[in-house]
Structure 1
Amino acid sequence: MLVWRRPKCAAEWFRHWMVFSRETFSCPFSALATAVQSDSSSGDEKPDSVLGNKIIRRQPRGLSSDSIVQTLRCLRRKPAVAFAYFKDTESIGFHHDFSTYSEIIHILTHSLQGKMLISLFCEIVSPTGSGGPEILALMNHLRRTCAAPHALSFAINCLIKAYTMCHDAQATIDMLSHLCRLGYVPSAWACNFVLKFVAQSSGTEMVVAAYDQMKCSQMTLDADSLNIVTRSLFKAKKADEAVQLWVEMVEIGVKPHGYSSFVIGLCGCGKYDLAYEVLQWVSQERVPIEAVAYNMAMDGLCKEMRLEAAEKILELKAKQGCVPDVYGYSYLIRSYCKIGNILKAVDHCEAMESHGIKINCHIVGYLLQCLRKLGKTFEVVVHFEKFRDSGIYLDKVVYNIAIDAYCKLGNMNEAVNLLNEMMSRGLVPDRIHYTCLINGYCLTGEMQKAQQEFMKMLKANIKPDIVTCNILATGFGRSGLFMEIFDLLNLMMAEGLQPTSLIYGVAIDSLCKRGKLSEAEKLFYTVEEKGIDNIEALHSAMVCGYLNSGWSNYAYMLFLRVTQQGNLVDHFACSKLIDDLCRDENVKEASDVLSMMLKKNVVPDVVSYTHLISAYCQTGDMSTALLWFDDMVGRGCSPDATVYTVLMNGYCRAGQFQEAWKLFDQMVKLNIKPDVVAYTVLLNGTLKETIQRGLQGFAKERRRYLLREKHQKLLSSMEGEDIEPDVQCYTVLIDGRCKAEFLEEARVLFDEMFQKGLTPDVDTYRVLIDGYRRQGEIRKAEVLQKMKDKLTSPDV
């Protein structure tokens, strides 16, 4: 055993240590630490005692805080050895105190031994560690004894890093604040390290609180600090707070450098206006911005349809020297196609190609879809062929648009050829492609081929959806293939598809058209009892089925039951019900239907109002007819020439001719152009008014003058509106001339009809024949009667 006595001075010890280093380092360092610190009189040192199974390690007599500090000072130029010595003395049972900790911290700090210093700090501050002196006291001692500012800053950084490893965000922030109160000024790195740690481990509120605390403590904050906090705020969708913080930092002199991330953050929060303003400002300041920031701002503005601003960003991007890419142009093209501005979309496509950027299949899809929505089906085919021939890769979506266009054009052969071409290019058709073909065949009435495509779809293990089945069922219904509808229903059940109300409605309608109303009712009640989504469609189908069968009373009773249950049939069924009830002179019931629609906040269309108003006019109830007219206008429905004509005719029938003229003047003032029917009603009304005045005792010549004057006024108005009289109008004019005893004028009008290519009808002949007979010109009346008989002869 090597006996090594302690030298009397550090220099002598260090010389001995160098001599025996080879031998001593071959044994555990704990033995070396004991040997270095042992006195020559340590031979009587007692070994460790054993209590039970636990070994109680006794501190060697030679180890003391002073001796360890002295040894550490000798090892200042060997920080790794010093730290190993410090740890080894601890492992043999020595409890380090303030002086030894201070010395080793001093050594590691000045030698910038980060890993060792962080490890040491972790032992001191760890809640589960062996503990040590109070860390703030150690740091305060270091501040007083450390002459190098960079070393002191290094120690603080290591302490903060150790704290983040051992404590939570709040404890780390508190430690940083305590250091500030001791007079430390943490570096920007330390502040940013803490902010990053808080951002990763806590919420946005904690990050903002940490930032505010640092700011109040006058810590060093820089552009990186700003980026960390704003990024956290953007992540929490607190864009307004991020902008406010940004402005505050700029005002205190911090020059931001993360403009790209700031713009991206604004876009992520939907603040595209602010992003646009920032991009405009940085463009003036010539601050470099990443292309992704420009693209995100453009994407957002395009989604908001602020396309001029998006185009401005594209210009700013070019001015900044950013190479144009496919994304910005794609956003603009997509948006212009969405609003139907195909010309602007094509302009951007050309600009894109002028920069050497290739058009992709997505852009082709935008263009073709736009043309399809605009109803330019032929142009869809032309452009598709142009893009295909140019060698651009086209996906299944683009092919489907082209197939749909061929189907709408009725060119099913080309549609099928296109599907085969798509398959030859390795693209597998899906449900949408087959549905498109099925719809095309249904539109052309080729239901057998539609069924064949449907079977191909099933054989390819492509499950049809409700849309496919609805299209096929509707096609069957239009073609009168009633049994096929029920076959489709059974197939849907087998495939696990729940038939929709539309399909059941088609089946009910088909049964009603075949005269099988009882079977339609049975199906209806079965489905209603079982329950189905969108049951209003089922009710609507049954109401229409009753109406198509001529049972308007049954349709009305079903309507009432559905309404009492809180539902309402669709708008078409309501309108048809009102029309049929009015036709069957059930005006009150029709009025009830319209009233119930209004209670359900469903505003009827002008046609439904017109049918009801016409029905009341037929009964002579003009006050109720006018009430419904005013209700229609009050609910925002714009009256047309037809409803005005119906009311004018009603007033004329009721002998209220002045009211009819008032309506005519009102219609003209509202810029509603009267048609030939409206003029015919007024011409006929004027004639009736003349007859009425005759009954009231007006002189014959006076009546003739008024009739001629009013008819001429109306004819002049018609001529000014470029409205030509039709057969009914000529008939009224001829009747008026005959009753005013202007037979020559009546005959001129009759001959004028032939000159204009109009064929007089039975009523035209009748009024002229009656006129001649009243005047005693029997021969002329007989000639016209023969012409009338030829007109009505079955051989003609």
Structure 2
Amino acid sequence: MSRRELGLLFRVRLGKVRFFSPSSTASLAPMLDEHTYDSNLTAETKILDKRSAETEHSYIERNCALFPLVVRVIRSLNWKAVEKNSFSKAVEKHGLSHSMDAFAIIIHIFSSAGLRREALNLLQDIVCYHKNAIGDAFGIFDTLVSWSLSLKSSSLVSQLLIKAFAGSLMLENAVDSFLLAKKIGLEPSVSSCNFLLKCLIERNKVEFVRSLFEEMKTSGPTPNVYTYTIVMKFYFKYGISQAEELLVEMERNAMSPTVVTYGTFINGLCKAGDAELALIYLRELRNRELPFNNYCYNAIIHGFCCKEKLYEAMMIFEEMKSCGLSPDVHSYSILIDAFCKKANVQKGLSLFYEMVTIGIKPTLVSHSSLLDGLCKTGQMESALDWFSKLEALGFKHDHTSYNIIIDGCCKHGDLDGACKYVNEMIGNNLVPDVFVFTSLICGFCKSGCLETAMKLFKHMLDKGILPNIVTCTVIVDGYCKEGLVLEAFELMDEMLRQGVIANLFMYNVIIDGLCKERKSEKAWEIFGPMVKRGLVPDVVIYSTLIDGFVKESKLQEAFKLYARMSKDGITPNTITYTSLINGLCKNCKMREALNLFEEMNKEGVRRDKISYTSIIAGFCRSGDMKKAWTLYSEMIQEGFSPDIVTYTCLVEGYCKLDMMDNAIMLVSAMLKDGITPSTIMCSNLVSRLCYNIRHGALNLFEELIRKG
């Protein structure tokens, strides 16, 4: 059968040609009967087609085995017959050109008959072949249009082609198809353009999104409310103002936003961190009697929860009820998760039982939030019990619930329990992921089982599971705590080769490890390479290094770093100041230490119990008990309760000056506060009392004996 004959048959099926003479009908009868059709061309047909090709520029395919399939589809619209013949297999047997022609006809048949899903499936098959086997999709559009019999047919198929390209992430081809369709006078449907916009947004093709949207507004198809809603969600990535402009534009075009549009706008405001503005906007919708729903309220509740404003979130939750909207499972789940993350598991449980009471069935997400809260607050027995009851309630544990319970076991030292749940997880056909391995590795490192942790790490790599930055940091920290800093460096280099780039936290672990080994100079050496990799040192890293230099009595280097961090615009924190004050005090530079201590107040850095104790200890060592007592009194006024270290410094300071009345008074206050003196303090105090028995000293001595 020639292409001309096939084309004629195609037109007959679509009602484009009528046959009036019996001879013409008879000549087509064999073509309509697939059982009498022979795929091997007869000599007569070959001669006929050869002549036809010379006059009508047609051609004869070297193998026409696909034409019976086309005939079958034309006669019966049999999808199953087509489904068995994939495009790639057709190309392999009959060549690309012939396969494209045959499939193009079938696609037009299906789309014209209203079987658009089938037509789309075939187009996706063609597009997939071109993407994987050829690398481009040049010519698909032209071939499809060449077999079209009407403007409507071309328009339908071009729309489906846009969707097929977009769904296969061949987005440039999808945009090209849109432009080609417009060029030849076809009008793609707004639904196909909306689908293309969604796909472009998902792949963050910013310029394509803007260009397509503007093209739609300029020359069609005219954007509808769903188009604006899709683009609004995208515009929120680049600021609230652009999204607001879209709402104004919709009103200007007399287009009524739907509840989905308003929900998208409110959710966008919340994600942009402005839950307060979102709440004002929602209340305005209510006042204007415009549509809103649970999604709008849930978005705002979630926005306030993200800001840890749980009281406000609960107020909005109650407001939601008062305006006639019943909270759904998402409303409750958002609040349960937020309270559990703030360690208020009791409130989470209260909301959970309230939800159950009113007939809302909790999801696995709701249960997982409570499970996580119980684990993080150390209520492991309750967590294990809750976990075991979930299956009885008909839930099937997923990766999230297993990750939570395994991590909880590891953090609370129950490594046997963690391993039991890993085995159970595998038994349920769930493959342990990087989070499970990281929890186990962390647990074994904390238990001092670095060797076991490393075996797990190797097993993880052997299974093809790439570690993340947390996994690597845990191992590095484990090495450093064992004094194996060199091995930690080697792991960092290996992970860099694997594509895991060290972050500030990992560098701080290494720096801290070196500083604890009294190798602050070595720690300083990795400061430069860290900066070269584009990492900007933060206050934590500076403070760690400064503390390292101070502990090695390298005050000059410590203050150089202090000057550098100020120059780089990094504000020192309480730890930074306390380290420097400690260094100055140990070197008897009390005036400089006091100036730095007062500078903390001027710079708005809050002084804590440790910083007060450091400066008090310095004055006690230098014998200036008057200043030490003044600072001690100031510390009490600031609301800080002295601890064993503060009392010890003061008592020893008074003992050295033989001011035993003051020392005895402090020990009495200490005992009254429920703080037991250390053995060293008791020894020093008893030694002094033996030389100088004072009023009340014997009673104090007896009380010290009772305290052990």
Query: Larger RCO: Structure 1 or Structure 2 (Cα < 8 Å, ≥ 6 residues apart)?
Result: 2
Which whole-Å deviations, capped at 9, do the CAs of 1:590-645 have from their partners, x for residues lacking one? 88678667756666654565455345434434455456657766776543233334
Matched, 1:469 2:357: no
Which whole-Å deviations, capped at 9, do the CAs of 1:488-541 have from their partners, x for residues lacking one? 23322323445533453476479x5xxxx7xx4664454355454538766766
Give, as a single letter, the amino acid of the residue that structure 2 aligns with 1:641: V
Corresponding residue to 2:230 among 331, 342, 346: 331
Matched residue, 2:690:
none
Alignment size in residue pairs = 576
Give the conservation status (yes or no) of the 8 Å contact 2:141–2:158: no
Matched, 1:118 2:14: no
CA distance in 2, matches of 1:454, 1:607: 40
Matched residue, 2:681:
none
**Which segment is superposed worse, 395-404 or 339-348?**
395-404
Corresponding residue to 2:537 among 639, 642, 653: 639
Query: Structure 1 pair 505/595, CA: closer, same or farther in 2 (3 Å)?
Result: farther
Query: Structure 1 pair 754/208, CA: closer, same or farther in 2 (3 Å)?
Result: closer
Give the conservation status (yes or no) of the 8 Å contact 2:415–2:444: no
Matched residue, 2:421:
527
Give the conservation status (yes or no) of the 8 Å contact 1:275–1:297: yes
Give the conservation status (yes or no) of the 8 Å contact 1:371–1:379: yes
Q: What pairs up with 1:624-663 in 2 under 5 angstroms?
A: 625-626=523-524, 638-656=536-554, 659-660=557-558, 663=561
Corresponding residue to 1:446 among 343, 347, 350: 347
Q: What pairs up with 1:495-644 in 2 under 5 angstroms?
A: 495-499=393-397, 500-505=401-406, 508=409, 512=412, 520=414, 523-524=417-418, 526-528=420-422, 530=424, 532=426, 533=430, 534=432, 553-554=447-448, 556=450, 559=453, 562-563=456-457, 565-566=459-460, 587-588=482-483, 606-607=504-505, 609-610=507-508, 613-614=511-512, 616-622=514-520, 625-626=523-524, 638-644=536-542
Matched residue, 1:109:
none
CA distance in 2, matches of 1:489, 1:297: 43
Give, as a single letter, the amino acid of the residue that structure 1 aligns with 2:250: M
Corresponding residue to 1:269 among 165, 172, 181: 165
* Structure 1 residue 327, shift from structure 2 partner: 3.3
Query: Structure 1 pair 564/430, CA: closer, same or farther in 2 (3 Å)?
Result: same
Query: Structure 1 pair 395/788, CA: closer, same or farther in 2 (3 Å)?
Result: same
Matched residue, 1:34:
none
CA distance in 2, matches of 1:388, 1:184: 74
- What's the Cα RMSD here? 6.6
Matched residue, 1:305:
204
Matched residue, 2:256:
358
Corresponding residue to 2:317 among 397, 402, 415: 415
Give the conservation status (yes or no) of the 8 Å contact 1:264–1:296: no
Which whole-Å deviations, capped at 9, do the CAs of 1:379-422 have from their partners, x for residues lacking one? 44444454456555656655654665687644547637747977
CA distance in 1, matches of 2:494, 2:570: 30
Matched residue, 1:703:
none
Give the conservation status (yes or no) of the 8 Å contact 1:474–1:506: no
Which whole-Å deviations, capped at 9, do the CAs of 1:56-102 have from their partners, x for residues lacking one? xxxxxxxxxxxxxxxxxxxxxxxxxxxxxxxxxxxxxxxxxxxxxxx
Q: Determine helix, strand or coil for the equivalent of 1:356.
A: coil
Which whole-Å deviations, capped at 9, do the CAs of 1:545-571 have from their partners, x for residues lacking one? 799xxxx55565763564465479997
* Structure 1 residue 236, shift from structure 2 partner: 1.6
TM-score (ref. length: structure 2): 0.58
Give the conservation status (yes or no) of the 8 Å contact 1:340–1:373: no
* Structure 1 residue 452, shift from structure 2 partner: 1.6
Q: Determine helix, strand or coil for the equivalent of 1:357.
A: coil
Q: Determine helix, strand or coil for the equivalent of 1:114.
A: coil
| Structure 1, gaps ≥5 residues long | 1-111, 127-160, 215-223, 692-706
Matched residue, 1:209:
97
Q: Determine helix, strand or coil for the equivalent of 1:236.
A: helix
Give the conservation status (yes or no) of the 8 Å contact 2:371–2:405: no
* Structure 1 residue 332, shift from structure 2 partner: 0.8
Query: Structure 1 pair 287/724, CA: closer, same or farther in 2 (3 Å)?
Result: same
Matched residue, 2:705:
none
Matched residue, 2:388:
490
CA distance in 1, matches of 2:205, 2:577: 49
* Structure 1 residue 481, shift from structure 2 partner: 5.4
| Structure 2, gaps ≥5 residues long | 1-17, 62-66, 75-81, 103-107, 113-118, 674-708
Query: Structure 1 pair 612/277, CA: closer, same or farther in 2 (3 Å)?
Result: closer
Give, as a single letter, the amino acid of the residue that structure 1 aligns with 2:453: F
Q: Determine helix, strand or coil for the equivalent of 2:483.
A: helix
CA distance in 1, matches of 2:101, 2:238: 54
Give, as a single letter, the amino acid of the residue that structure 1 aligns with 2:126: A
Q: What pairs up with 1:104-183 in 2 under 5 angstroms?
A: 114=20, 116-122=22-28, 126=30, 167=37, 171=41, 175=45, 178-181=48-51
Which whole-Å deviations, capped at 9, do the CAs of 1:699-726 have from their partners, x for residues lacking one? xxxxxxxx99xx69x98xx89x957796
Q: Determine helix, strand or coil for the equivalent of 2:372.
A: helix
CA distance in 2, matches of 1:212, 1:605: 52
CA distance in 1, matches of 2:646, 2:249: 67
Query: Structure 1 pair 509/481, CA: closer, same or farther in 2 (3 Å)?
Result: same
Q: What pairs up with 1:189-200 in 2 under 5 angstroms?
A: none
Q: Determine helix, strand or coil for the equivalent of 2:537.
A: coil
Q: Determine helix, strand or coil for the equivalent of 1:359.
A: coil
